[in-house]
Amino acid sequence: MQKNNLTKVKTFTLGYENNAYDESVFSKRISSHLGTEHTDWILNQNEVLDHIPNMSKIYDEPFADSSQVPTYLVSKLAKQKVKVSLTGDGGDELFGGYNRYIYAPKIIEYQKYPSILKKLFKRLISSFTPGQLNKILDKINKFLPSSYRFLSLPEKLYKLSELIELNDQYQIYDSLISTWKKETPSLLKNDNKDNLSENFYKIGSSFQERMMLTDLNDYLIDDILVKVDRAAMSNSLETRVPFLNQELVDFALSIPLSMKINEKGKSKILLREILHKYIPQKMIDRPKAGFGIPIDSWLRGPLKEWSNP
């Protein structure tokens, strides 16, 4: 895109004062390498208070994806300089980008381990609070190569301890994409999940393909695209989604899984090979991170009074 433009392409990033969630420094390096006109906004906690109360008006329905907040704010930032923007939505679902595509099949492999070991692991993890685990793992992370570091590792370990004894593919997938447990009393019965369970085994030829196709038809449509469209349009910003071009979708669905995820557990193989032609590998080979926010510290801090009126 930059190569074929006479003027500098405008790029935008939202960053945080909380370093655990901030990727703005990596975005700057890439924009500098490509020669784009880059703008970032390092968000502080107090600025959040100005925008979060408006989320219910923007989304107009219960919408529990916390990344709606940074998506709204980065759209607000982009609107200051452009009227139309491109997004990368669909790339994960089509080319195997989510961590669950790599780790979910391994959970079934854990069934070969003795039950006593799985119970000990579960008990060990549950004996620590997320905060305690965070402190321990932060110290360990400092000694690991960047490619072996995990973001939000305590959350991932808690999730693993919950499903380590499952062996049904849909149950594992459902647990991985869910935040609340099914037995939570405040949740209403969701008939749609029953339909998803029935349809899950009718698509794809492998566990990974079934997850990707389910995400493509459910998560992408009902969460990701809703989130981006409402966040952008509330700022009068138009968005376009190149990955969802019909020909590109058809192509992605036709290629073998090995071109998306390799035997070493590396994701988005085809996209990485293309990207390495334009950007040095060391700039982009980093742990997978979602568009998350430090919601835990915000709810204990500047949002505490607002969330507990």
Residue 165, domain member (yes or no): yes
* Count of structural domains within the chain: 2
What pLDDT score does 168 carry? 87
Q: How many residues does the chain have?
A: 309
What pLDDT score does 153 carry? 65
Please tell me which residue, 248 or 200, carries the higher pLDDT value. 248
Q: Which of 212, 243, 276 is the last residue of a domain?
A: 212
Residue 259, domain member (yes or no): no
User: Residues 172, 133: one domain?
Assistant: yes
**Position 126 pLDDT exceeds 80:** no
Q: What is the residue range of 148's domain?
A: 99-212
* Separation between Cα atoms, residue 177 and residue 118, nearest integer Å: 21
Residue 72, domain member (yes or no): yes
3-class DSSP state for residue 43?
Answer: strand
User: Residues 202, 286: one domain?
Assistant: no
Residue 1, domain member (yes or no): no
3-class DSSP state for residue 240?
Answer: strand
The answer to which of 25-29, 105-109, 125-129, 134-138 has the lowest mean pLDDT is 134-138
User: Residues 131, 163: one domain?
Assistant: yes
Provide long-range contacts, Cβ within 8 A and 24+ apart, for 213-221. Answer: 214/173, 215/92, 215/93, 215/98, 216/90, 216/93, 216/94, 219/93, 219/177, 220/89, 220/90, 220/93
**Position 151 pLDDT exceeds 70:** no
User: Residues 206, 236: one domain?
Assistant: no
Please tell me which residue, 140 or 105, carries the higher pLDDT value. 105
User: Residues 25, 113: one domain?
Assistant: no
Q: 176-206 pLDDT, tens per residue?
A: 888 766 555 555 555 555 677 778 888 888 9
Asked whether 302 and 49 are in contact (CB, 8 A), the reply is yes
Closest CA to 91 of 228, 200, 231, 205: 228
Closest CA to 42 of 15, 23, 21, 75: 15
CATH number where 240 lies: 3.40.50.620
User: Residues 236, 289: one domain?
Assistant: yes
User: Residues 133, 118: one domain?
Assistant: yes
Asked whether 173 and 211 are in contact (CB, 8 A), the reply is yes
- State the pLDDT confidence band at 298, using cuts at 50, 70 and 90: confident
User: Residues 244, 192: one domain?
Assistant: no
Residue 260, domain member (yes or no): no
* Separation between Cα atoms, residue 105 and residue 169, nearest integer Å: 8
